Amino acid sequence: MNTFLKTLSVAALAGLTLTSVAKAEVSEHFIIHELAQTPQEAATLIRDFIAMDDEWSLNGDFEMMGGAAVGMKICFNSMRGYVGAAGLHNLALMPCGNIAFYEENGQSYLSMLDVGYITTLSPHPSLEEGVALARPAYAEMLSNVLGVE
C-alpha cells in the first residue's frame, strides 16, 4: 500500500509539472493577439496583402500540426538594408517577421516574434534603426489586415 501511495504521489506531481510546462509564461519577445479569423483565413489575408504590396515579401509559408496551424515568414523590405549594414552575418536573422497562426480552446491566435529580438541577438545601431522603422510597419499591417491592435 505504501508503494502504491508513493507511486500515485509521484504520478500526480509529474502531472502538475507537465501542466505548468504547457502553460509557460510568454516572454516579451512575443506579440500575441486573439483573432476573429481562423488560422487559415488569417494566413490567406496576409498572403493576399503581401501579393498586392511591394513593401512586403513572403519568404515562407507552411502548415504545422497537420494543417491546424500556419507558419509564415514575412519581411518588411525596408528592413533588409539595415540588417546588411550591421554586417552580413546578420542576414541569418532575416526575415524579421516570424508568425504563427493557431487555435487554442476554440480561439484563434496570432503569435509573432517582436522584431526587436534581432537586437537582442545582435546589438548594433543599424539594427536598432531598422527595428524602429519596422516595428510600427508590422503593427500597422497587422491592424489593417487582421484588425488587431
Mean pLDDT in residue range 118-133 = 96
- Name which residue leads in pLDDT, 10 or 82: 82
Work out the percent of the chain whose per-residue pLDDT is above 90. Answer: 78
Name the CATH superfamily, with its identifier, for domain 28-146.
TT1751-like domain (3.30.310.70)
**Which pLDDT value is given to residue 1?**
53
**Which pLDDT value is given to residue 86?**
96
pLDDT band at 95 (very low <50, low <70, confident <90, very high): confident
Mean pLDDT in residue range 122-130 = 96
Q: Which of 103, 102, 113 lies closest to 27 in space, CA to CA?
A: 113
**Which pLDDT value is given to residue 2?**
52
Q: Where are the alpha helices (DSSP H) in the chain?
A: 2-22, 39-52, 79-85, 117-121, 125-146
**Which pLDDT value is given to residue 130?**
96
- Domain ranges in the chain are 28-146
Q: Are 148 and 101 in contact (CB under 8 A)?
A: no
